[in-house]
Amino acid sequence: MLAYRRYQPEECDFVPVAAADEVPPGERLFVTVGDLDIVVFNIAGQFFAIEDRCTHDDGPIGEGDLEDYTIVCPRHGARFDVRTGEVLAPPAPVPVPAFPVRVQDGQVQVGIPRRP
Ligand code: FES
């Protein structure tokens, strides 16, 4: 079980998930890496990634409305900051995992935490 927190690049292995030009600004991409469902956002040219699972009731959050850097869970309205995973509004009790993202060689790469 992963802890709910923002992961640092040095504790991750980066996995390519898409060509950067497949996810233009304003778009989002749903990917599965191992047993993680992840949503990647391109917000004004910057990429962010969070787990696509609300901490309130395990609902998918990636399809929710995006307001600046805030994703609104479509089920019960919890809000999270996609940059950090931080909870901004209940009913979610804890943050969602936020993964580092980099663009290298034209590819979007998501940092997946190494497991012991
Ligand atoms: S499942 Fe997201 S707020 Fe309830």
Residues 69-90: tens digit of each pLDDT: 999 999 999 999 999 999 999 9
At a CB cut-off of 8 Å and minimum separation 6, what does 66 contact? Answer: 28, 41, 43, 72, 82
User: How many other CB atoms sit within 10 Å of the CB of residue 111?
Assistant: 20
Nearest CA to ligand 1 atom 4: 76
92 Cα nearest atom in ligand 1? 3
In the chain, the domains with their CATH numbers are: 9-113 (2.102.10.10)
How much of the chain, in percent, has pLDDT values that exceed 90? 87
- In the block, tokens 């233009």 appear at 24
76 lines ligand 1 (CB under 6 A): yes
Q: For 45-77, how does the pLDDT look when each residue is reduced to its tens digit (9 = 90+)?
A: 999 999 999 999 999 999 999 999 999 999 999
108 vs 37: CA distance, rounded Å: 16
- Nearest ligand 1 atom to the CA of 76 is 3
Task: Report the separation in Å between the CA atom of 32 and the middle of ligand 1, taken as the mean of its atom positions.
Answer: 20
Give the number of the atom of ligand 1 that is nearest the alpha carbon of residue 77. Answer: 3
